[in-house]
Chain A
């Protein structure tokens, strides 16, 4: 479908532009401003140039948090994407069972982030939690508040619990759009289950899977509330991801300059990776249109 060129369409976009400028551009300019200045007593500001950036790039604290964040996002994608596809393939195709599955699966997505943290807190604690109690009864020592490995496992399982349904629902929507004729053709060709998945289902899910990967990458890369409630970034700094570190710096210690420089670099990294995704998406859309 060819779109017509019409510059007056700008008028329709202006409300969005004004609103987003107010809630994004103005705050962003403050951040840029702070990142080049140092303040004494919160009132006097001095130009310090790139000092904060240089200091941050040398600081181990930032690199450690960045490393943890990358590892976390990588593990999350590696678990949630395949698991989500598996769940989508296992879902009933129609009838009341499909509705029940959809509603139950969507439930974790609508629970406030901090309540998700609370749920896993009361689920995992050795004294009052079902999981913690069962594990300790089985003789497995498990304490997410003191053992770094246990904390990681709990945060990852919590995120899988929270967000795998999103991937599954997206993949399910992709599967539903495949015409039945494709399956019948595959049946005539006596294609194996794997080949049906590899050559029919996976290509048809490609578009929604890219959205799923993009959303899951972005959201896991800026995760804050759930680990904050569950572990508070601990034990030690074991689960201090980038956002937790940033909030500590900005609202806890009120280090405006370093926090602002941190913010900008953080944002740029997400932007860069997401831009790559977006470009790939657009190119694929165009390829599909040509076919």
Chain B
């Protein structure tokens, strides 16, 4: 069915392709510059202007991967991001099911109220979170950051999952209940496997928004749970910038995202529409 697109080898230079390539170039050039910089020595970065590293070096990466105050930042980030993804999914799954299947007292208001938390500027919560988690002595722990990120990830997870669950016909639930399945059994054995892609997409988004966030994770940590992003800003504000190491640290934060995208590439388009197309 190629009625819409006469795509042959000859028509490669079409306006659409030019737009697309210009856009991809615009996206990739700044990233390229960061990657190139991470392989340069500081004297080359500051002294000469080269498009490729003249003295290719892995020293910057070596600095990061051998110094615990650097690489523990990645470990810390991974711990709280994973915790947050698990918590968000666990609480969001039953709630999304309720919203997608039943009407109950105040459901619309509750749904909007949940979404308002996605709209709350993290800057508003920085100070109260700091006080709240300090007062329950959770300051500088991974679980504190994971819980704080639930503020925006749980509403988002409910929203996305509800979209996917609406696509599953109700008859399946009813048949299962008639066949004598209990709710828990039905939910974990039949329903959850059916919305597998939806759960994958949701996990992707929770990972993404927790991984990229800086303000709350920086405010809630000092030493033991300090994320890599916060360690990087500390380096920026210190005098005598080590550009090469900073670039290498940046490149290392891009890699997990790239890996995750690769795994969900087939669901990305539908996933970004939050199951609502």
Q: What residues on A are CB-neighbors of B256 within 8 Å?
A: 110
Answer whether A91 and B20 are a contact pair too, CB < 8 Å, given A110-B254, A128-B45, A169-B269: yes
Q: How many pairs of residues, A versus B, come closer than 8 Å at their CB atoms?
A: 291
- The reply to whether A4 and B94 contact each other, CB–CB distance below 8 Å, is no
- Alpha-carbon distance A276/B92, docked complex (angstroms): 25
Residues of B in contact (CB 8 Å), total: 104
Q: What residues on B are CB-neighbors of A128 within 8 Å?
A: 37, 45-46, 243
Answer whether A243 and B123 are a contact pair too, CB < 8 Å, given A6-B104, A110-B208: yes
Q: For the complex, would chain B's binding face be called helix, strand, loop or mixed by DSSP majority?
A: helix
Q: Which of B92, B123, B262 is A247 in contact with, Cβ under 8 Å? A: B123
Answer whether A20 and B150 are a contact pair too, CB < 8 Å, given A5-B102, A26-B132, A180-B3: yes
Q: How far is the CB of A156 from chain B (nearest CB, A)?
A: 13
- The reply to whether A172 and B208 contact each other, CB–CB distance below 8 Å, is no
Answer whether A120 and B273 are a contact pair too, CB < 8 Å, given A28-B128, A101-B24: no
Q: For the complex, would chain A's binding face be called helix, strand, loop or mixed by DSSP majority?
A: helix
Q: What residues on A are CB-neighbors of B95 within 8 Å?
A: 12-13, 15-16
- Alpha-carbon distance A9/B107, docked complex (angstroms): 10
Q: What residues on B are CB-neighbors of A170 within 8 Å?
A: 272-273
- The reply to whether B258 and A110 contact each other, CB–CB distance below 8 Å, is yes
Q: How far is the CB of A89 from chain B (nearest CB, A)?
A: 7
Q: How far is the CB of A27 from chain B (nearest CB, A)?
A: 3
Q: What residues on A are CB-neighbors of B260 within 8 Å?
A: 110
Answer whether A16 and B158 are a contact pair too, CB < 8 Å, given A110-B261, A112-B211, A267-B121: yes
Q: How far is the CB of A116 from chain B (nearest CB, A)?
A: 8
Can you spell out 21 A-B residue pairs with CB atoms less than 8 angstroms apart?
A3-B101, A7-B105, A9-B107, A10-B105, A13-B98, A15-B90, A15-B94, A19-B91, A23-B147, A27-B128, A90-B15, A109-B208, A122-B247, A133-B49, A161-B27, A166-B272, A211-B273, A246-B121, A263-B124, A266-B123, A270-B120
Q: Which 9 A-B pairs have the closest CB atoms?
A: A110-B257, A27-B128, A173-B273, A222-B121, A12-B98, A9-B102, A243-B123, A9-B98, A12-B94
